[in-house]
Amino acid sequence: MSIVDRGDLAGARRVVVKVGSSSISGENRDKIAPIVHALAQAHARGTEVVLVSSGAIATGMPYLALDERPSDLATQQAAAAVGQNVLIYRYQDALRPFGVVAGQVLLTAGDLEHATPRSNARRAMERLLGLRILPIVNENDTVATHEIRFGDNDRLAALVARLLGADALVLLSDIECLYTRPPSEPGAQPIDRVAWGDDLDEFEFGATVVNSVGTGGAATKASAAKLASSAGIGVLVTSADLVSEALEGRTVGTWFEPDPSAEATIATGTVRAASSQ
């Protein structure tokens, strides 16, 4: 059952949470612990939690003596191969005190575009959740190519939420909420709620931001929120620092209301249709 307001998040049956590279790598690697604490609290309340985590390439960069995100595909793949291993270890180490076990799920765009691998991915994650395992999903950067990939993990998180029929999607960012224009510009106003069907063209989210460790930005989050909410899944965009408050249903971030005429579903055709939008 989808939820219609962020205040219901504390009682959600199933929630997908996405965190970006900049929130958990480099000088922010210590933020993994409070993020995991919030996820473990939700898990203890009975909520099924799926974490979509970026950060493999960013985590692997120091081990390859790289000061900035590599531009060539082969080095990106090498950094991801090293970083994914370290990243999962850090998550599991943080989860251990709560008695929660993580399960790694790596996906490519093709996995969600074709019926058989899509069904396999859904079945595997459903079984993990049934066993009270916390799935940690990331794009399989080691085998992904520039031509065939999700583009950003906000979109991946929206597709996973649709695949699993999640009640809600929480997109964690570096800022507390979305703004009507870049928050550094004069006149920028925080957006508390986006009603279903609201025209987002009036907002100046700007182009996708590509920083030294990852990709993403306000525009990708708004696009992912629209993708998920069109399937009847409410979406909250807020700061990684407020993940505990978010999952407790407090009034933080920007809430995207779900389409009231849609029902979150795990029907075979749902994600396939979404992935072509």
* Annotated binding residue 28: no
Helix ranges (DSSP H) in the chain? 21-24, 32-44, 56-60, 73-95, 109-113, 115-130, 153-163, 218-229, 243-247, 268-275
The Cα–Cα gap between 110 and 124 comes to 16
**Has 54 been labeled as part of a binding site?**
yes
174 is in an annotated binding site: yes
Encode 187-215: b = buried (16+ Cβ within 10 Å), e = exposed.
eeeebeebebeeeeeebebeeeeeeebbb
**173 assigned ligand-binding residue:** yes
**Residue 18 assigned ligand-binding role:** yes
CA separation for the pair 72, 69 (Å, rounded): 9
Whether the CB-CB separation of 42 and 36 falls below 8 Å is answered with no
**Annotated binding residue at 201?**
no
Instruction: Provide the annotated binding site.
Output: 18, 54, 141, 153, 173-174
Task: Please give the annotated binding residues for ATP, written as ranges.
Answer: 18, 173-174
Residues tagged in the binding site annotation for substrate? 54, 141, 153
